[in-house]
Structure 1
């Protein structure tokens, strides 16, 4: 295949990274604010009557998407280094076409609904996209917004919402502790009249950090035991100043890359508190780590100790369980463990699609519809292939890979770096840049042998 050819599947010639595998990753990377918090913190700025300042903002495409959406709604947004300044004092309605252009396939517009209904009395949601990892319906969001008092009208161009009588507090229980639905309720309830009680809420660190932001703005939010959050609506919120918590997903991705390539990576900014479950699994597999808790320059160093990796049986879960976004890079590392490992996915029903590419590289992975974890989950007996058995160690060899989604895509990068030979990975610009800041520069800094088709490695 020449450097100008496209993959026979769906990749394009200008969206490919060539990876020469077999080199351990060695060095240091820095993680900034969490993708799963920063975009929601930007949306929260819409609620304020004064400017907000968000620090440690990563240069990722999701930030560009929200920046565009805020600007078409009249918010003045300026980025200085990794600090974002947002002035929402002149919020205005945006046209359907403008919203569609900036939203693309992002699911973020659904979270603007509550703030826009409070500020303008109306909002619009285009058809939503996102990663193909299983059903993430917006029904939770629309159902909650209706209960708050929103009128929802669907037509050919999307969904229009209005609040002719304002929004009021509700008692609401989620069927599943969905992060997105919890964020929706928080962003809507803080200025709804009366008190909102949300049961079976998500309590991920990014949710707690969003609550901290809203509290700085003047919100009254109480986090009770048993996943209950109580929000007392207020008449007005002001702007905030906040440093986003570090991205624990990116940190874990680099940790798994160090393990799979038999390398050593210091992840500056990684925090032990939010990664405790991952660290336990990492150590159980046989990985080594050391925590530097310096408040400004600290992080966690992850490395392969040189001994055989051990198989494990684990399952994903909502926080404080093993995060679903941690499983894909861990599965790549487990292909090098000595024995049979089990990964039981309980959050999304269709998150093992990426393993077909790993099997083409020589990984021994079998998928099952049975619940192979410690307890049955909601996907059991529904014919979803949501349990994986990984037999190792497997000798991975190079292949041309097509990225299916963001997290699986980084796992493909890890596999290509661990494999013998030269791989081509398609879809890096479409997916990886959504959640990994400067990933190519970071890989090069760690000694990875990578190139674009138009360049050559010296």
Structure 2
């Protein structure tokens, strides 16, 4: 991380950006290609770091990945799937958490999988215990080593009854990718039902899977002996769309987000309007803008879908610093997602963090030592500061704050944002931001 983004703030963002396939779906759909007995085609693929990582991991395992130079569509052929060297997997995976989702498909395809120590954004304790417990339910043998985990299924995988203690997106994906070719029927209770999960189900159904989505977060998967390839257009990235929407509101700007989908952003749009922002839903996207006047303080609680998504919280907090009055944000999904507010406070925001649940939703973090509620008092006049990007959404939030602020800010570690935001710098410049990427002084 040797580049610094210099941001001269005080300019409203105005113009249009295009969002493509969802970061929370595309890498998982790529992994799903391992399950087929023929090539798959994935369309609307964004140029982000996570796609590069999964491409490399698939290629290490013998999958041929070909990118169309004009459209960016990926053709993934698993016919040469094989075991990969553990050191190569470890080196290539870096801090990505995607490798854990290779387990089921690899066991079905080649009989075993190796998973290195996992990283990811530092927003909480994303344990892989859910995943390992799920895999054991299917009959997998889990062997822990100093450099990672070896998982095997010498006698094949069989259907299971699984009930998650929390509707985890990652664990739900693990069940889906493992159950579709397991022998027998799998019943998953307390499943995540995010739009990206339903889109992954669409992918698997195209491949020949039999999956029933029932009431009360229950998914039933009837295992099949073989799956074929798919041809699928990834749903748009609702999190990127919401991030640009918050940027428009915080800076007093006007941004048309091409590809933004009203249905998948419903909870965000309601909150955005209550805050004082406005939007115009069009056939090909949504225009987000600040209509003038004061923004309204709010009480916001994150939740699993169909609630207010945790990934929307951090960019919105920046907009809340510009509202007149006291706002409360109660984070119920990740326990340490307010670390990014340190930089906001240094910029002049008034943010107080609390261990108490300042909200009405039942929360896993009640009576635990986590600063998971925030009180934001505005309107704050922000000023430029230097900061290090802490994680994907927090990093975007820092940049929004710097764009709101008077004066100059310098952001290091900007590469983290490329994990989930396609052509981030070019989009900022296209919206009129006064930003420059340069080499850090040594």
**Deviation (angstroms), 1:453:** 2.7
1:245 to 231, 235, 255: 235
Query: Cα distance, 1:101 vs. partner?
Result: 2.0
Residue from 105, 114, 129 that aligns with 1:139 = 129
Please give the alpha-carbon distance, in whole angstroms, between the structure 2 residues aligned to 1:377 and 1:156: 34
Give the counterpart of 1:257 among 247, 270, 276.
Answer: 247
**Distance in 2, Cα, partners of 1:301 & 1:437:** 19
1:58 lines up with 2:46 in the alignment: yes
1:169 corresponds to: 159
Give the secondary-structure state (helix, strand or coil) at the position aligned to 1:331: helix
After TM superposition, give the deviation of residue 259 of structure 1 in Å: 0.3
Q: Deviation of residue 378 (structure 1)?
A: 1.1
Task: Give the distance between the partners of 1:366 and 1:282, measured in 2 at CA.
Answer: 22
Corresponding residue to 1:308 among 268, 274, 294? 294
Alpha-carbon distance between aligned partners in 2 of 1:214 and 1:144, rounded to the nearest angstrom: 19
Q: Over residues 337-386 of structure 1, what are the superposed CA-to-partner deviations in whole Å (9 max), with x where a residue is unaligned?
A: 00000000000111000001100000000001111112341101112110
Equivalent-residue separation in structure 1 for 2:113 and 2:379 (angstroms): 52
Partner residue, 1:33: 21
CA distance in 1, matches of 2:361, 2:90: 42
Q: Which residue of 2 aligns with 1:9?
A: none
Confirm whether residue 266 of structure 1 aligns to residue 252 of structure 2: no
1:353 aligns with 2:353: no
Given the alignment of the two structures, is residue 344 of structure 1 paired with residue 330 of structure 2, yes or no? yes
Give the Cα separation in 1 of the matches to 2:436 and 2:80: 45
Gaps of 5+ in 1: 1-11
1:181 aligns with 2:132: no
For 1:138 and 1:404, locate their aligned partners in 2 and report how far apart those are by CA, in whole Å: 21
Matching of residues 180-259 of structure 1 within 5 Å: 180-259=170-249
The offset of 1:426, in angstroms, is: 1.0
Give SS of 1:182's match.
helix
1:409 is displaced (CA, Å) by: 0.3
What is aligned with 2:383? 397
Which of 75, 79, 82 is residue 63 of structure 2 equivalent to? 75
Secondary structure of the structure 1 residue equivalent to 2:176: helix
Name structure 2 gaps, 5 residues minimum. Answer: none
Q: Distance in 2 between matches of 1:284 and 1:48?
A: 46
**Contact (CA 8 Å) 2:44, 2:233: kept in 1 or not?**
yes
Q: Hey, what's the Cα distance between the residues in 2 that align with 1:454 and 1:41?
A: 35
Partner-residue secondary structure (3-state), 1:453: strand
Regions of 4+ moved over 4 Å? none
Aligned pairs for 1:363-374 within 5 A = 363-374=349-360
Q: Which residue of the partner structure matches residue 117 of structure 2?
A: 127
**Equivalent residue for 1:160?**
150
Residue in 2 that maps onto 1:5: none
2:410 is the counterpart of 1:420: no
Give, in whole Å, the separation in 1 of the partners of 2:360 and 2:300: 8
Q: CA deviation at 1:64?
A: 0.2
Task: Provide the aligned length of Structure 1 versus Structure 2.
Answer: 438
CA positional deviation for 1:437: 0.2
- When the two chains are superposed, the root-mean-square deviation of aligned CA atoms in Å is 0.9
The superposition leaves residues 48-78 of structure 1 with CA deviations (integer Å, 9 ceiling, x where unpaired) of 0000000000000000000000001110001
Paired position in structure 1 for 2:318: 332
Secondary structure at the aligned position of 1:452 is classed as strand
Instruction: Look up the SS of the partner of 2:25 in the other structure.
Output: helix
- Aligned match of 1:384: 370
Q: Which of residues 66, 89, 94 in structure 1 aligns to 2:84? A: 94
For 2:157 and 2:363, locate their aligned partners in 1 and report how far apart those are by CA, in whole Å.
35
Residue number among 276, 286, 307 corresponding to 1:321 in the alignment: 307
Tell me, in whole angstroms, the C-alpha distance in 1 between the residues paired with 2:3 and 2:222.
Answer: 48
Q: Please state whether the residue corresponding to 2:317 is helix, strand or coil.
A: helix
3-state SS of paired residue (1:36): coil
Give 1:454 deviation, angstroms.
5.5
Q: Secondary structure at the match of 1:57?
A: coil
TM-score by length of 1: 0.95
Distance across 2 between alignment mates of 1:383 and 1:73: 41
Shifted more, 214-223 versus 445-454: the winner is 445-454
